Structure 1
Amino acid sequence: MSSAAFWRSLDTLVAESKIVIDRARDTPHPRYSDFIYPFDYGYLQGTLSNDGSGIDIWRGTMPDTQVTAVIVNVDLEKRDSEIKVLIGCTPEEQQTILHVHEDGAQSALLIVRKPSS
């Protein structure tokens, strides 16, 4: 599969799924009140991730719903890994979100979509 096909597949998942925002921008995490969500966070309804729930998404401030990047993270405390789909995120927003997933026992990799794909 080419990288263009990968991004098109993600765009299709987003287009065919309802985006559910269950943690709005500037709200505290339900269990860790010192963490404030820098952007809307939620999932794609009707999809399935490794943890058994919907695929996680971050929604940036750009008005479109194109997938702009993906974060792959590993959490040694939870002993799991996941992908986070970034939708409508600027490069600065992508970096902010990446740093969220590089905290404590977590490490992450940001994969950015090239403008032509």
Structure 2
Amino acid sequence: MADFENNAFFWQKIDTLYLSSKLEIIREKGSKHPEFGNLVYPVEYGRLKDTSTSDNEGIMVFKGSEKSSSVSAIIIAADILKKDLQAKLLIGCSKDDEDKILRFLNQTDYQKTILVRRGQEIPSWGLTD
């Protein structure tokens, strides 16, 4: 089972999704959430314009303080108000950015999140002679 967990092939596909799409920033760092004014975005927040999701908003992205064009982690959010699960990409996020994003997303009782950091392992089924 470990061969299928957090492997380099998965992250390669995630990078391709990100790099082949146009990022549109919809919330600047420090801006307030449109519905919940007490929530302030700790980093830039946007969407990949030409991607699809169940809510038709596209894949959401947190863009951190580091200069990087690879996905460093994914946040998985469970939202009981929307009755939904969402994946959000983290681009150029430092450990401090990750901590701030997790605090931002987990401060309500209606949504909880986890962070999955990028793995680099190539599974045994992916190796060729």
Which has the bigger relative contact order, CA under 8 A and spacing at least 6? 2
Tell me how far 1:107 sits from its aligned partner: 1.3
Q: How far, CA to CA, are the matches of 2:77 and 2:38 in structure 1?
A: 21
Does 2:110 match 1:105?
Answer: yes
Structure 1 CA distance for aligned equivalents of residues 39 and 105 of structure 2: 12
Q: Using the aligned pairs only, state the percent identity.
A: 33
**2:64–2:92 contact (8 Å) kept in structure 1:** yes
Distance (whole Å) between structure 2 residues aligned to residue 36 and residue 63 of structure 1: 22
User: Which one of 25, 28, 46 corresponds to residue 32 of structure 2?
Assistant: 28
Any runs of at least 4 consecutive aligned residues in structure 1 with deviations exceeding 3 A, and if so which? none
**Structure having the higher Rg:** 2
Alignment of 1:33-44 (within 5 A): 33-44=37-48
What is the count of residue pairs matched by the alignment?
A: 116
The runs of 5 or more residues in structure 2 that have no matched partner are 122-129
Q: Does 1:58 align with 2:65?
A: no
What's the TM-score once normalised by structure 2's chain length?
0.83
Gap regions ≥5 residues in structure 1: none
CA RMSD, 1 decimal: 1.5
User: Higher mean Cα deviation, 60-69 or 30-39?
Assistant: 30-39
CA distance in 1, matches of 2:103, 2:76: 12
